[in-house]
Amino acid sequence: MKIACCILSYNITKGMKSFGPIGMLKKNKNAKELILHQIENLRKIFGSTDIYVVTGFGEDKLCKKIQNKKYVKIISNSQYNQKNYGYALRLFLEHIKDKIDDYYGVFFIDSNILIRTLKNKKRNESWLVSQKLKQTKKNNKIDFLGINTENTDLKYLFYNIGNISWCKSFYLTQQDIRSMIDCIYDYHDNMFLFEILNQSVEKINVKIGINQILSNQDYVEIRGIKDKNKIK
C-alpha cells in the first residue's frame, strides 16, 4: 500500500480570474508551473504516490500540464463557481471510496500551497501540517488560521488565535477517510476546509495530531501573482 495525495485545485483565486488557475502561475516564462512543483514535491515526500487533482476553474489549462502523468488522476468539479470545499471534498470521497483499500491514507493540500519537506509522516495517525508564527506576521494583521489543541490533538481551527498556524494541508488515515465517507452528506457544499476538519473532530471524533514543519522555508503560501517569485 501507499499514501494517496489530493490537490484541491478547482477554485478561483482572488485577483486572478483573468489570469487563470493559480496552479498555472510560475516564477518566470522558463520556469515550471506551481502545480508541477506541487506534484514533484509530493512525490519526493511520499514516494510512489497516486495524486488526485480536483480541477474546476481553468481546468483545460491544468489538464494540459498534468494529464500525461500516469500517477495523476483528474477529478472534474463543474460546480466550482457555485460551491466550495465541502462539495470538492465530496467529489473526491465519492471517487476514492472503492479504492481506499489501496492506501494507508490520503494527504490533502490546497491549490496555493508548496510544502518542500515533511518529517514525522506517521501513516497510522491523522495529522495536520503547522508552523510556528513569526512575531512580525502576527503584527502585520495578515489573517491566519490558528490551532487550538486539547492535549496534543486538534480541538479546533479558527482565525487569528494562538501562535501556531495551519499550513492548509493535512493527512487522514484510511479509517478516518472511511468515517468521513459514511457521513459524506453531513459536509455542506459551501464549507471551508477548516470547517470540515472542525466538524470531523467534533461530530465523528476524528483525532488529528499536529505535525509542525521544522523550517519556515519548507512551507510557502502563494496568495497571488505578487508571490510568483516564491514558486521554486
Lowest mean pLDDT across 1-5, 18-22, 197-201 = 18-22
Q: At what angle do helices 174-182 and 85-96 cross, to 10 degrees?
A: 110
In whole angstroms, what is the distance from residue 73 CA to residue 24 CA? 17
Domain residue limits, the chain: 2-230
Classified by CATH at the fold level, domain 2-230 comes out as: Spore Coat Polysaccharide Biosynthesis Protein SpsA; Chain A (3.90.550)
Per-residue pLDDT at 109: 98
pLDDT tier at 61, thresholds 50, 70, 90: very high
pLDDT tens column, 187-206: 999 999 999 999 999 999 99
Residue 3: CB partners within 8 Å, gap ≥ 6? 46, 49, 103, 104, 105, 106, 107, 121, 123, 171
pLDDT tier at 13, thresholds 50, 70, 90: confident
Per-residue pLDDT at 34: 97
In whole angstroms, what is the distance from residue 21 CA to residue 9 CA? 8
How many whole angstroms from its chain centre is CA 28? 24
* pLDDT greater at residue 85 or residue 139: 85
pLDDT tens column, 111-133: 999 999 998 899 999 999 999 98
Q: Is the pLDDT of residue 154 over 70?
A: yes
Q: Is the pLDDT of residue 138 over 80?
A: no
